[in-house]
Amino acid sequence: MLQTENIQAGADDFKERYENEQPFRKAAEEEINSLYKVIDEANLTKMDLESQIESLKEELGFLSRSYEEDVKVLYKQLAGSELEQMGVPIGTGLDDILETIRIHWEKDVEKNRAEAGALLQAKQQAEVARMAQTQEEKLAAALRLELHNTSCQVQSLQAETESLRALKRGLENTLHDAKHWHDIELQNLGAVVSRLEAELREMRSEAEQQQQAREHLLAHKAQLQRDVASYHALLDREESG
């Protein structure tokens, strides 16, 4: 009878321990479900960031195309129809376009200077005999005015070139900052996902251990019940005898 009571007490103790473990198991399952929700939210955030990055890329591409079109329009306005007749290629990069514009204007300046010098010399030779000093002065003034206008156009072109370069640097800095923040956000999300996955694996391991302990307790309880049943059967046979 003492052994039976001990067995029954052990069974009750195992039952009580099992019932006490149930709230912990329920809390662990709720925590796992909440972790799944956190992972889903992290995935949604990642998708949202990727969508924002694609939008920024499209906006940057649009700005780049608009920038190239503005440069080409400016190039045509400054160069005029003469370059189109000459078939001068327009580079896709800003440096190529600026270099082409610079070479063209240098050639025009040299050409204007040469023409102005030749014209001035021809006028001087034609008017030497007639001593038309007044006409020569007017011609010289006109040439000086033309040279002055050409210099003003060159300075304006240089100012436009600096403005375009500043715009290019601003776009490149914006793209670099966007890529930098995107990399940081991806790293942070990766760290959060890794941490959540590690916690999930740990909780799964604990749940498996609890499940194994529960199965062990159930097996032990079943064995105890079989032993108790055998003992009662033995007592019944002895009483019957």
CA distance 189 to 1: 64
**What local confidence, expressed as pLDDT, does residue 81 receive?**
46
**What local confidence, expressed as pLDDT, does residue 213 receive?**
85
CA distance 127 to 1: 149
The Cα angle at residue 172 between residues 171 and 175, in degrees rounded to 5: 85
What is the pLDDT tens value at each position of the chain, 241 positions in all? 788 888 888 888 888 888 888 888 888 888 888 888 888 888 898 888 888 888 888 888 888 788 777 767 766 665 554 444 444 454 445 566 666 667 777 777 788 778 877 877 877 777 665 665 566 677 777 888 888 888 888 888 888 888 888 888 888 888 888 888 888 888 888 888 888 888 888 888 888 888 888 888 888 888 888 888 888 888 888 777 6
User: What number of CA atoms fall less than 13 Å from residue 229's CA on the CB side?
Assistant: 6
DSSP 78-144: HH-HHHHHHTPPPPSSHHHHHHHHHHHHHHHHHHHHHHHHHHHHHHHHHHHTTT-HHHHHHHHHHHH
The Cα angle at residue 78 between residues 73 and 83, in degrees rounded to 5: 90
Q: Which helix (H) or strand (E) holds 193?
A: helix 133-240
**What local confidence, expressed as pLDDT, does residue 95 receive?**
62
Instruction: Please name which of 88, 86, 90 lies closest in space to residue 70, comparing C-alpha atoms.
Output: 90
> Residue 196 has what DSSP assignment?
H
> Residue 1 has what DSSP assignment?
-
Q: Kindly state the tokens that stand for 2.
A: 């003492």
